[in-house]
Copies of this chain bind each other. A is one copy, B any other.
């Protein structure tokens, strides 16, 4: 494997938090923990065999999802990937409707028709996820196109993985966004792997962001396990985009704590790499930084943890108590009226 070393985590010095708004810092933490707890619970439900379908967990990647989504306005939209639970929760999809969707219940955000691979809620700006790799990039550009044409000031953010940057749809989307200066941010969650395949095997360059120049677009690579760094990068790209400056490509270096999906132990990964990255878990790292900030007490943080835990428990109860969709509903929504 080429250049393992450059793929080991390069943890930068963290910026002090004093300059940041208390509520924002708090919310970043809360959402990261919400995602973590949600997915741990989902994993557990899977192992128990009570949850249907398949799941792709984003454990370890919470910082980029949360940092990115909290840098957006409520009216902005995101597109989600197959690994979309975290992105959904980060953008504000409720744990209840998300959990119910995973169970295929009628109270799910997509009425049980989508499932884990297609979660989303338009009312909070989360387009139900597209599971075909690369296909969401032009669609995100298209939403941005409508924003630009309608002069709404909204921005679209397209989540994708580094493996996706080798798809044709992605290429076409970046070019379209660049030539039409669309307010869209292409946000790469570079977790080094597409399923089992290391990025160095499928790209002869070091970073996805190097491709931005091929479209005349700004590109940057950042440490994706720091939610603050992601927040900064996305905020400034969104400001630019709103001001008519066009799209940007932001690459967040991060790592899956587990395998590609539930039945994958991820054994193809070198231990050196796994161990180094596991030590960079974004949540404890961020928690430590919060605790170092005088505005956050341990008990306040533990209160967040506890509140999240009951949110999750409640969401499971909600989902289990919800009805399955009626058989007739299978025939609805094939065509819009």
Contact = CB atoms under 8 A, between A and B. Distances in A.
A168 B166 contact: no
A97 to B, nearest CB: 34
A321 interface: no
A174 to B, nearest CB: 10
Given A213-B210, A213-B213, A214-B213, A178 B166 contact: no
Interface string A179-210: 10000000000000000000001111100001
A213 B214 CA distance: 8
A167 interface: yes
A168 to B, nearest CB: 2
A219 to B, nearest CB: 10
Contacts of A213: 205, 210, 213-214
Question: How many copies of this chain?
Answer: 2
A198 B166 CA distance: 26
A24 B201 CA distance: 41
Contacts of A167: 168, 172
A211 interface: yes
A205 B215 CA distance: 6
Contacts of A203: 175, 179, 215-216
Among A168, A178, A215: residue with most chain B CB under 10 A:
A168
Contacts of A69: none
A169 interface: yes
A91 to B, nearest CB: 28
Contact of A168 (B171, B179, B202, B216): B171
A217 interface: yes
Nearest to A205: B216
Among A167, A179, A201, A202: residue with most chain B CB under 10 A:
A179
Contacts of A171: 166, 168, 170-172
Nearest to A217: B204
A203 B171 CA distance: 12
A210 B178 CA distance: 15
Interface in A140-193: 166-172, 175, 178-179
Given A168-B168, A168-B169, A202 B175 contact: yes
Contacts of A204: 175, 178-179, 215-217
Contacts of A214: 205, 210-211, 213-214
A172 B179 contact: no
A171 B202 CA distance: 13
Interface string A199-243: 001111100001101111100000000000000000000000000
A226 B215 CA distance: 28
Contacts of A178: 204
16 contacts: A166-B171, A166-B175, A167-B172, A168-B169, A168-B172, A170-B171, A175-B203, A175-B204, A179-B201, A179-B202, A179-B204, A203-B216, A205-B216, A210-B213, A213-B213, A214-B214
Interface of A: 166-172, 175, 178-179, 201-205, 210-211, 213-217
Given A168-B168, A213-B214, 19 more contacts: A166-B175, A167-B168, A167-B172, A168-B169, A168-B171, A170-B171, A171-B171, A179-B204, A203-B215, A203-B216, A204-B215, A204-B216, A205-B213, A205-B214, A205-B215, A210-B213, A210-B214, A211-B214, A213-B213
